[in-house]
Amino acid sequence: MGFQRQADTVWYTRSFNFQLKMMDHYSTIAKALAYIQENRKNQPGLDEIAKHLHMSPFHFQRIFSEWAGVSPKQFLQYINVTHAKELLKKQNSILGAAYTTGLSGSGRLHDLFVKLEGMTPGEYKNGGKYLEICYSFGNSRFGDYLVASTSQGVCNLFFYEESREKALREVQAQWPQAKLTEQETPLHTNVKRFFENKLENKAVIPLHLKGTPFQLKIWEALLQIPEGQLQSYTDIATTVGKPEHRRAAGTAIAKNPVGFLIPCHRVIRSMGIVGKYRWGSTRKTAMIGWEAAQKKIPSA
């Protein structure tokens, strides 16, 4: 028993140190990506970006490579418009065949670890009056987040920049009558492990979501997008059998209540532009580039 407690202590210490390190790195990455986007016409080089961040080029490259697993130069190739267009073109060519058997069984990470279930109207009527929701705060390689869950699964995951209080108010606005308790549950621990790519193969993160039937279909479709790949809003609408409802699909994607676990960041505009994101386009760009780097997607 003592050995198990010691092992748990070691894991939590390593996890905490990892989160702090990645969070600190993300702050640097976000500033760098924002600068690159603001000055994309001039295509700033490594030295210029490092100077903007008040770092030496060597230090900046080390931090960036530690966070992304690839050099800044390679990462920028993963997030440029040409690369995005190539990915969209490949996805368009396989969409029909990929979804003829329905939304299931692809064997990708999100399919293995994340399972979506819609709430019944009775579970969320009157602002969640009869729901008990636990929430906790965490750090990830993509910044600070708040995760909230019912007894059946995660219902919200919001990234935030300003304060914990503001993030909590957003949850309270969604569930004004629910009983909210600050408590980290085993499910929240699994979310941390998911961000670290350390979730065991048999683990599952259930999602317990409030949404219309159309929204739930859209969010389920998002789970089918392979890591490192991208789809357009039209692609997603087509996937759920409503190609003419591109705008409605876009609205449903924008209302995704669970960041990253439901990978709405993998949906971009058809011309290859990253576009808006509920938690900031810079964060979306970071997620897209990081996933491509992990999958070693060939850059255009």
Give dist(CA 154, CA 165) in Å, integer: 19
pLDDT by residue (tens digit) across 136-186? 999 999 999 999 999 999 999 999 988 999 999 999 999 999 999 999 999
The count of C-alpha atoms lying within 13 angstroms of the C-alpha of 262, restricted to the half-sphere facing its C-beta, is 32
pLDDT by residue (tens digit) across 76-109? 989 988 888 888 887 665 554 444 433 333 334 4
Coil, helix or strand at residue 13: helix
pLDDT by residue (tens digit) across 193-224? 999 887 776 678 999 999 999 999 999 999 98
**What pTM value is reported for the model?**
0.85
Of the candidates 22, 242, 264, 54, the residue with the CA atom closest to the CA atom of residue 138: 22
Structure tokens at 88: 């969209």
The number of residues making up the chain comes to 300
Query: Residue-wise over 112-136: b if at least 16 C-beta within 10 A, else e?
Result: ebbebebbeeeebeeebeebebbbb
pLDDT: which is higher, 101 or 290? 290
The bridge status of strand 143-149 relative to strand 132-140 is: antiparallel
The answer to whether residue 2 scores a pLDDT higher than 90 is no
Give dist(CA 288, CA 258) in Å, integer: 17
- The CA angle 280-248-158, to the nearest 5 degrees, is 30
Active site residues per annotation: 264
Structure tokens at 279: 């938690």
pLDDT by residue (tens digit) across 44-76? 899 999 999 999 999 999 999 999 999 999 999
